[in-house]
Structures are given as structure tokens and as C-alpha cells.
């Protein structure tokens, strides 16, 4: 198909389309969260869904993250497929017992008898001038817990395919959307398709260095790769797409091929996703590496409000470019 004919949607539209298609396909899918119905969320991601599916399936809740997430767990155990909306990822803290001690444990603790086919959609990402309690990227916390799956789409195409997989999954899935990416456009097929969990995608092929990037950092890595190309460095950008299950094999293969790797993720790098993935590379590709694996994540500070302060807390194209150039011995 010629490129001009490709159908484009924004990231937000892709999320909405996935939800609408799954709600048409399966009457047990329902949405619960704050201002999800007529308001369509503050980000307008869900606009139009209540008009089609009504307030019986698109349900405004009180501001009770623990309460309605807990309701989601119980509903999922008893025949529904709830999609819980937690407006800002920072508010996950309020629902942590429901996710960590309840949703994640029910299947195992019951010897495999009860299941929790629930999706929890939430957001991550800084640089929106929202300060320390509306800007965090806390996906590492959930990736740490056995029993949960964590998806982190980086394109509209991936958002639709991964969300449909999440809704059909028999397990609790935490689905992180970068709120700065909602207006980003990309090709999204109109037809039904799913993207399996645990399958990384090479977003750009390269031979000199691997840039392993998640969610918001994929576009940053692709930008850095374009800058690197200009100085003769061929960077491969690989996106795990789900932090659990994690496609360790594809990441290790890429690092073995290029012999150098940088892991870029918007969560804090201490005890975070970058640490985990860099260990996977170090353990799996040690004898093929020409340099230590480098981690790039959010600075270890609460996200500040003032723009000049906030902007330095997150890895940028330039920072990734500089790090890659240094790692390739070209500085």
C-alpha cells in the first residue's frame, strides 16, 4: 500500500478504537474510572464511548482509586472484563494493595482456580508542567510483581494491538500510556489485530549500537538514531513493548549483534526498568559486549515544576546521542 493511503490515528484515537472494538465484541468489557463517561477523561481519550455503550458500561466512579480498582478485581473474578482507568500513574499508589496483594496473587494463591482478567490503564511521563504528583513513571513497581503483566505502547499502532491483547488476556494487565504521546499520529489499521505480549519490535535496524527504549523514550531513541546516522553511527532501536513478559531473547540478540547497548526508560533508573534490562543484556551478551551497558532514566529527584528544572530530569535526544557517541568512541 502506498504510504499516502495509510490510515492515520492519534495515539488517543487508537486507544479509544481498541476499547470500542473490544466492547462491541464482548459484552463483559466495561470501563470504570473517574470522569470516564461524559467527560471522556481529562485527556479526552474516551470521548464518544459513553454515547455508544451507555453509562452501564462506561461508569463514572467517585475519587476512590483503591475502591474501584478493588471492584475491578472482584468483577474480573466473577465474569466481567473490567478496564480500570487511573487518570495519572502517580495515583497508582492509592490502589497498590488491590494490585499487588489482590489482583496479582488471586490466581496463584487459589491454586489456579480464580482468574483476574482485568486491565488497568494509566499514564506516565513528565514534561507536562504538572509537578511531582502528576508526572511520575512508576511502571517498574508493577513490573516487579509476579502475577502482573505490564504493557507500554510507544506508537498508535502498538497501542491498539497491545490494548486488545490486554483485554483478552486472562491475567491482570497494567497498561501505561505516555500522556505526552496522546496526540502523536501514526498508522493504525481499521481492522481487528492484536500484538502478542513479550515480543519486542525493532523500530529501526542498525549495526553499531543497540538503543533499548520503552514507551515515551522510543521516539527519543529514534531521534538520537537519526542524529547518530549523520556522524556515521548506525543505531538499532528496539522496543520491548511489554516490560513483563520481557522479550529477553530479542534484546540480547540485538546487543550481541551491535556489541554496545544503552537502555532508555522514563522511570527512575535506580532499581528500575533500565537496571533490569541492562542486567539481562550483561548476563546474556557479556562476551560480545565492547563496553559496559549504559542506563538512562529519569533523574533521581521528585519531578520539579519549573520548566528549566523539569526538562533536565528526562533523557533527551541530545543526551542519548552524546552517550551513544561516547560509547562508540567517537567523541
Partner 1 sequence: MSQTADEPKTSAGISLEKWLRIYRRMQMIRLFEEQVNELYTRALMPGLAHLYVGEEAVAVGICEALRADDYITSTHRGHGHCLAKGARPDRMFAELLGREAGYCRGKGGSMHIADPATGNLGANAIVAGSAGIATGAAFSAKHKGQQQVAVCFFGEGALGQGVVYEVMNLAALWKLPVLYVCENNLYTEYTHFTETTAGDVLARGPAFGVPAESIDGQDVRAVHSVATRLVERARQGQGPAFLLCNTYRYSGHHVGDINREYYRSKQEEQEWKTRRDPIKLFSDWLLGEKLTDASTLGRIESEVRAEMQAAVDFAIAAPYPQPEEVEQDVYA
Active centre residues (catalytic):
134
CB of 95 to partner 1, least distance (A): 9
CB of 23: closest distance to partner 1 in angstroms? 13
**Residue closer to partner 1 (CB basis): 55 or 207:** 55
Nearer to partner 1, 43 or 114 (CB): 114
Count the Cβ atoms, other than its own, within 10 Å of residue 128.
14
Give the DSSP H or E segment for 168.
Answer: helix 156-168
Write down the least CB distance from residue 151 to partner 1, Å. Answer: 14
Strand order across the 58-60 sheet: 58-60, 29-33, 81-86, 119-124, 173-178, 149-151, 242-244
The CA distance from 33 to 19, in Å, is 14
SS3 89: helix
In the complex with partner 1, which residue's Cβ is closer, 61 or 215?
61
End-to-end Cα distance, the chain: 42
Rank residues 102 and 274 by Cβ distance to partner 1 and give the closer one: 102
Q: Are strands 242-244 and 149-151 parallel, antiparallel or unpaired?
A: antiparallel
Q: Tell me the angle at which helices 317-327 and 216-230 cross, rounded to the nearest 10 degrees.
A: 50
With respect to partner 1, which residue has the nearer C-beta, 97 or 283? 97
Where on the chain is the footprint of partner 1 (CB under 8 A)? Answer: 28, 30, 56, 61-62, 64, 66-80, 82, 97-98, 101-102, 106-115, 117, 146-147, 149, 170-171
Nearer to partner 1, 107 or 294 (CB): 107
Distance CA 136, CA 133 (A): 7
Closest approach, Cβ 79 to partner 1, in A, equals 5
- In whole angstroms, give the CA distance from residue 77 to residue 114: 6
Taking a C-beta distance cutoff of 8 angstroms, is the pair 313, 126 a contact? yes
Beta bridge partners of 60: 33
Cell 504538572: give the residue.
Answer: 130
- Closest distance between partner 1 and the C-beta of residue 245, in Å? 9
Listed in order, strand segments (DSSP E) in 162-241 are 173-178, 185-187, 201-204, 209-213, 235-239
- The least distance separating partner 1 from the CB of residue 73, rounded to whole angstroms, comes to 5
Question: Which residue from 242, 203, 240 is spatially nearest to 220, judged by alpha carbons?
Answer: 203
Amino acid at each position: 500500500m502506498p504510504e499516502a493511503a495509510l490510515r492515520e490515528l492519534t495515539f488517543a484515537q487508537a486507544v479509544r478504537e481498541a476499547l470500542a472494538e473490544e466492547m462491541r465484541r464482548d459484552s463483559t468489557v466495561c470501563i470504570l474510572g473517574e470522569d470516564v463517561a461524559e467527560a471522556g477523561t481529562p485527556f479526552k481519550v474516551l470521548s464518544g464511548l459513553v454515547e455508544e455503550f451507555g453509562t452501564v458500561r462506561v461508569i463514572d466512579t467517585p475519587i476512590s482509586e483503591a475502591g474501584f480498582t478493588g471492584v475491578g478485581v472482584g468483577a474480573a473474578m466473577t465474569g466481567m472484563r473490567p478496564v480500570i482507568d487511573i487518570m495519572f500513574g502517580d495515583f497508582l499508589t492509592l490502589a497498590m494493595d488491590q494490585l499487588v496483594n489482590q489482583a496479582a496473587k488471586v490466581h496463584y494463591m487459589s491454586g489456579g482456580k480464580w482468574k483476574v482478567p482485568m486491565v488497568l490503564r494509566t499514564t506516565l511521563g513528565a514534561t507536562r508542567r504538572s509537578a511531582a504528583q502528576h508526572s511520575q513513571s512508576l511502571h517498574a513497581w508493577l513490573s516487579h510483581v509476579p502475577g502482573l503483566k505490564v504493557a507500554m505502547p510507544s506508537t498508535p499502532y502498538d497501542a491498539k494491538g497491545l490494548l486488545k491483547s490486554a483485554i483478552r488476556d486472562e491475567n491482570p494487565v497494567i497498561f501505561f500510556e505516555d500522556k505526552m504521546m496522546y496526540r502523536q499520529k501514526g498508522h493504525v489499521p481499521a481492522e481487528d489485530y492484536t500484538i502478542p505480549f513479550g515480543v519486542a519490535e525493532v523500530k529501526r535496524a542498525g549495526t553499531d549500537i543497540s538503543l533499548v527504549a520503552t514507551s515515551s523514550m522510543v521516539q527519543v531513541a529514534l531521534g538520537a538514531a537519526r542524529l547518530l546516522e549523520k556522524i556515521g553511527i548506525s543505531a538499532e532501536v528496539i522496543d520491548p513493548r511489554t516490560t513483563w513478559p520481557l522479550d529477553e531473547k530479542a534484546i540480547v540478540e540485538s546487543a550481541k549483534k551491535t556489541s554496545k547497548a544503552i537502555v532508555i526508560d522514563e522511570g527512575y533508573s535506580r532499581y528500575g526498568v533500565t537496571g533490569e534490562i541492562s542486567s539481562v543484556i550483561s548476563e546474556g551478551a557479556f562476551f560480545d559486549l565492547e563496553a559496559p551497558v549504559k542506563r538512562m532514566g529519569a533523574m533521581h529527584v521528585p519531578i520539579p515544576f519549573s520548566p528549566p528544572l523539569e526538562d533536565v530530569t528526562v533523557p533527551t535526544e541530545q543526551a542519548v546521542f552524546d552517550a551513544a557517541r561516547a560509547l562508540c568512541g567517537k567523541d
